[in-house]
Every structure is written in structure tokens, then in C-alpha cells.
Amino acid sequence: MRTKAKSRRSFLVDSVTGLNAAWITANLPGILAAQEYARHSAESGQLPPLAFFTAAQAAEVEAIAAQIIPTDDTPGAREARCLYFIDRALTTFARNSQAVYIQGLQELQAKTAQLYPSAGKFSALTSEQQIKTLTEIEKTQFFNTVRIHTVIGFLARPVHGGNHNKIGWKLIGYDDSLNHKPPFGYYDAQPEPRRKA
């Protein structure tokens, strides 16, 4: 039962890292630097430089993220800049996931080559081919890590580098004002049902 802060938090940490508790050994200066950097890039209107991935790796990770939360009639992971959240996370919060990405990208390359020998790289596949490829690896630690990081990048505060222009929050109708007045929803706005005497 997830009733209290700690159980909720450990549940999340577990779901993110499996048994690897090193995730939570984030250091504050790193986090603050990342926030400052995200703020700077948001203000300057430019895409931030990559801190961890090469351009080639970034293209692959962005293509995966864009399949996890695709762009349709509304923006998805690509527009939310989940790639940049992940890139910064790998040098701060998620330093210990670096190896998972490096190795996972190599395996993705191999899987792509196996399924589509002429393609060269995952990001060059058609969307349908990408989905087929990811379905084959969806049980791997790599895919699960990218999936979780993408979701977090999509829905965490924009200050962490993703959720650009609050794209994620707009999709789920989240009001981040942190100051709400009733009625909060549809049902509490209705007249109360007549109670038994």
C-alpha cells in the first residue's frame, strides 16, 4: 500500500532503478547546475548543447523517446525535449545509468542491423519499423530505462530540461499554479445529493 511519502518514494526509486540505489546519491551542485543550464537555454531560445551524448547517439535516443511518447495531433517527447532531460540526467541524477545507455545503444544498433540490414541506424527506420524493433527489445533494461526517463522528462518540471513549454503538463491537463480553489473538479461542483434524514 502506498500511503506515505517514503513508500511512495521508494516505490518510484525502485521502479526507476531496479535494485540500483545509487540513483539517489544525486549531488545538489550538479542538480543546481543542470537547472541553471536548463533555464539559460529556455531563456536564450536555443537548444542546449549536449552534455553526454554524441550527436549520433542523441539522434537514436530521441528517436526512441519519440516512439515512447509519439507526436500526433499534439506534441510528444521530441517537442518536450525529453532528449535534453535525459542527456543532463546522465551527468547528474542518473550518472549510474550511463553504461546502460552506451551498451543499450550498441545492442539497438545490432538489433536494427539484424532486422533491417540496409538501414544503418535506428533513427533512419520508418516509424513502423522502429515500433517493431522496440517491441523486440521492450523487456530489456535499456528500453525500460529510456521509457522511464522519457516519461519523467515529459512530466517533470521544465527546469530539469524536459517538459518544454509545459507540453507534458498540457497533455494531462495539469495546472502547476500550486494554488487551487474549490471546486476542484466536476463532481464537487455539483449540488450535493439529498441525504437521508
Positions in the binding site for another protein (CB under 8 A) = 1-13, 15-16, 21, 23-24, 26-28, 31, 67-70, 72, 74, 76, 93, 131, 134, 138, 147-148, 151-152, 154-157, 159-160, 168-169, 171-175, 178-188, 190, 192-196
CA distance 43 to 63: 25
CA distance 46 to 107: 32
Compute the least distance from the CB of residue 47 to another protein, in Å. Answer: 21
Compute the least distance from the CB of residue 73 to another protein, in Å. Answer: 10
Compute the least distance from the CB of residue 78 to another protein, in Å. Answer: 12
Nearer to another protein, 116 or 154 (CB): 154
Q: Torsion over CA of 147, 151, 153 and 156, rounded to 10 degrees?
A: -150
Compute the least distance from the CB of residue 8 to another protein, in Å. Answer: 6
Nearer to another protein, 6 or 43 (CB): 6
Compute the least distance from the CB of residue 28 to another protein, in Å. Answer: 4
CA distance 19 to 37: 30
Distance of CA 149 to the CA centre of its chain: 4
Nearer to another protein, 13 or 113 (CB): 13
CA distance 86 to 53: 9
Nearer to another protein, 18 or 120 (CB): 18
Segments in 138-190 forming alpha helices (H): 141-155, 167-172
CA distance 12 to 80: 22
CA distance 148 to 117: 29
Nearer to another protein, 26 or 124 (CB): 26
